[in-house]
């Protein structure tokens, strides 16, 4: 009997008690939307049923509640959504059900109810263990609450992941090392450390333009990145993805691996994206962003990606993980082990010399946006060149060669890759792209 193809389900819960100043996700303040929230939960289950017609039979490997702040939803609604997904598709024996949560006391008190609803993995947004930093980040919890919530979660859920934000204004490597070690000591099996990025249109973006917020320059940020890798590696965490570290293969995020490995996933909830393969074609879905529109079933879009677009997304996701992406999966871009750009990047020690797969080295992952831009530019234009000027890798003294497309083959700025990634990975943070 043939095993159905794997499928992930992403559920976007857009409500937040407050909107963080660095956030550019599709979010709305929760206050005064209680009736709408209940209607949204019902609409999500109906959406999943409708999308079953698009996917056909599949093996359900993950359900991920993201947001927004899905821990604000009623646990009974989460249970209903999980039950619906498990009825529509065949649940894997090790089905992963993840809920993103904030560590406020009010939410931590509901952890057991979510566990009873079927959640077996909690992704806890600590962001920092310093009160001053949490205030800067606009969080509505303190350091003591963060530690207490992590301890409670570790006793309730079989699996725990924590998010931390670094490269904050004024942060030193010594302070970050101490803070990261304290986070590791909380006992999570998975740590996602994200560099603070200033996204257009956010409160932090406005503060930077006013001069009231000064993020670290590139060199100090690179030093913090290197420190992050060293501390987590010493603690037994593998960097299986640019911004994700796990205590061994079993602790990896199965849902995020759905994105990075190019598997199919259904997106439900306001603004959620999905990718479904049908009759050999990659179909992109995008739900209406306003909750009212989503509930009424209006808006949203569905399109079939060209082979080149599908291959580009596969490249964007695959290069983020240590295992990389097979050349046959990006054949539509014309990339092969013999491509000039591939050989050049291997020579610069940014790609691994692997005849079967495109895999970034440690140095390549530090400048992944530039690396991706070089590969896609070369695929679209024979005018791509490697020019000699400044180093592409901070501290790479052996080479003074950056990656730069020739004028006739230029691409939009690197922000384009961040936007593309954030869209199709349902807001996935980009980590250390440069």
In degrees, rounded to 5, the angle at the alpha carbon of residue 38 between the alpha carbons of residues 33 and 44 is: 115
Task: Give the SS3 label for residue 392.
Answer: coil
Instruction: Give the neighbor-by-neighbor strand order of the sheet with 121-127.
Output: 238-241, 244-246, 190-195, 159-166, 121-127, 90-101, 59-67, 6-13, 264-268, 273-278, 281-286, 301-304
Confidence of residue 2 (pLDDT cuts 50, 70, 90): low
Lowest-pLDDT range of 143-152, 219-228, 232-241, 413-422: 413-422
DSSP 351: B
DSSP 313: H
Give the list of residues 6+ apart from residue 364 with CB closer than 8 angstroms, or none.
319, 345, 349, 350, 351, 371
pLDDT tens per residue across span 315-362? 999 999 999 999 999 999 999 999 999 999 999 999 999 999 999 999
Whole-angstrom Cα distance, residue 89 to residue 108? 30
- pLDDT at position 1: 56
- pLDDT at position 391: 34
- pLDDT at position 108: 84
pLDDT tens per residue across span 60-105? 999 999 999 999 999 999 999 999 999 999 999 999 999 999 999 7
What's the start-to-end Cα distance of the chain, in Å? Answer: 46
- pLDDT at position 411: 28
Residue 419 above 60 pLDDT?
Answer: no
Residue 152 above 70 pLDDT?
Answer: yes
Confidence of residue 416 (pLDDT cuts 50, 70, 90): very low
- pLDDT at position 377: 85
- pLDDT at position 381: 64
| Among the listed residues 65, 259, 229, 253, the one whose alpha carbon sits nearest the alpha carbon of residue 161 | 253
Helix ranges restricted to H, 253-411: 254-260, 291-296, 307-318, 340-347, 362-366, 368-380
**Averaged pLDDT score across all residues of the chain:** 88
* Phi/psi of residue 28, nearest 5 degrees: -140, 145
Q: Tokens in use for 371?
A: 């690396």
- pLDDT at position 299: 80
Residue 32 above 70 pLDDT?
Answer: yes
Please report, for residues 144, 327, 336, the alpha-carbon distance to residue 349 in angstroms, rounded to integers and kept in the order given: 43, 18, 17
- Strand 190-195, strand 159-166: pairing: parallel
**What percent of the chain lies above the pLDDT cut of 70?**
87
- Strand 281-286, strand 273-278: pairing: antiparallel
Higher-pLDDT residue of 57 and 399 is 57
pLDDT tens per residue across span 358-383? 999 999 998 898 899 899 888 766 55
* Phi/psi of residue 231, nearest 5 degrees: -65, -45
The residues facing 273 across adjacent strands are 286
Query: 382: how many CB neighbours lie within 10 A of its CB?
Result: 11
Going 9 to 20 to 370 to 395, the CA torsion angle's sign is: negative
Confidence of residue 426 (pLDDT cuts 50, 70, 90): low
Query: 355: how many CB neighbours lie within 10 A of its CB?
Result: 8
Whole-angstrom Cα distance, residue 242 to residue 244? 6
- pLDDT at position 172: 94
The residues facing 10 across adjacent strands are 64, 267
Q: Which residue has the tokens 């439900």?
A: 268
Higher-pLDDT residue of 202 and 423 is 202
Whole-angstrom Cα distance, residue 399 to residue 15? 48
353 in Cβ contact with 347 (< 8 Å): no
| Among the listed residues 427, 81, 123, 68, the one whose alpha carbon sits nearest the alpha carbon of residue 273 | 427
Ranges of each domain in the chain: 6-260, 307-424
Question: Is omega for the bond preceding 68 within 30 degrees of 0, making it cis?
Answer: yes
- pLDDT at position 369: 86
Residue 418 above 60 pLDDT?
Answer: no
Average pLDDT for residues 137-145, to the nearest whole number? 95
Q: Helix, strand, coil: what percent of the chain each, to 5?
A: 40, 20, 35
Q: Which residue has the tokens 């399109």?
A: 303
Q: Which fold has domain 6-260?
A: TIM Barrel (3.20.20)
- pLDDT at position 431: 37
pLDDT tens per residue across span 305-316? 999 999 999 999
Single pTM value for the model: 0.89
- pLDDT at position 397: 28
pLDDT tens per residue across span 254-275? 999 999 999 999 999 999 999 9
Average pLDDT for residues 34-53, to the nearest whole number? 96
Confidence of residue 395 (pLDDT cuts 50, 70, 90): very low
């Amino acid at each position: 009997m043939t095993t159905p193809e794997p499928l992930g389900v992403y559920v976007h819960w857009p409500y937040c008690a407050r909107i963080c100043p660095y956030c550019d996700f599709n979010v709305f303040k929760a206050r005064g939307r209680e009736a709408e929230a209940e209607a949204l939960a019902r609409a999500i289950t109906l959406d999943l049923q409708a999308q079953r017609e698009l996917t056909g039979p599949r093996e359900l490997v993950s359900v991920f509640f993201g947001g927004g702040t899905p821990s604000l939803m009623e646990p009974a609604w989460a249970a209903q959504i999980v039950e619906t997904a498990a009825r529509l598709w065949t649940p894997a024996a090790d089905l992963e059900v993840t809920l993103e949560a904030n560590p406020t006391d009010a939410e931590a008190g509901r952890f057991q109810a979510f566990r009873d609803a079927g959640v077996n993995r909690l992704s806890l947004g600590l962001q920092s263990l310093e009160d001053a930093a949490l205030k800067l980040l606009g969080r509505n919890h303190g350091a003591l609450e963060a530690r207490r919530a992590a301890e409670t979660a570790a006793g309730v859920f079989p699996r725990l992941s924590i998010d931390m934000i670094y490269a904050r204004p004024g942060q030193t490597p010594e302070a970050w090392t101490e803070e990261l070690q304290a986070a590791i000591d909380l006992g999570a099996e998975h740590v996602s450390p994200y560099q603070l990025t200033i996204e257009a249109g956010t409160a932090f973006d406005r503060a930077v333009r006013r001069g009231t917020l000064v993020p670290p320059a590139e060199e100090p940020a690179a030093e913090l990145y290197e420190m992050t890798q060293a501390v987590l590696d010493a603690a037994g965490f593998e960097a299986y993805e640019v911004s994700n570290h796990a205590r061994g293969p079993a602790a990896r995020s199965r849902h995020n691996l759905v994105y990075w490995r190019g598997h199919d996933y259904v997106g439900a909830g306001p603004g959620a994206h999905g990718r479904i393969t049908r009759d050999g074609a990659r179909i992109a879905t995008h739900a209406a962003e306003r909750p009212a529109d989503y509930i009424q079933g209006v808006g949203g879009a569905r399109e079939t990606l060209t082979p080149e677009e599908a291959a580009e997304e596969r490249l964007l996701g695959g290069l983020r993980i240590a295992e990389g992406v097979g050349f046959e999966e990006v054949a539509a871009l014309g990339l092969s082990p013999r491509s000039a750009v591939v050989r050049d990047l291997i020579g610069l020690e940014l790609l691994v010399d692997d005849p079967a797969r495109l895999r970034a080295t440690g140095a390549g992952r530090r400048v992944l946006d530039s690396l991706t831009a070089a590969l896609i530019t070369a695929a679209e234009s024979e005018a791509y060149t490697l020019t000699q000027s400044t180093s592409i890798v901070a501290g790479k003294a052996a080479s003074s060669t950056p990656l730069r497309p020739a004028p006739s083959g230029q691409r939009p700025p690197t922000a384009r890759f961040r936007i593309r990634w954030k869209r199709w990975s349902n807001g996935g943070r980009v980590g250390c792209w440069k």
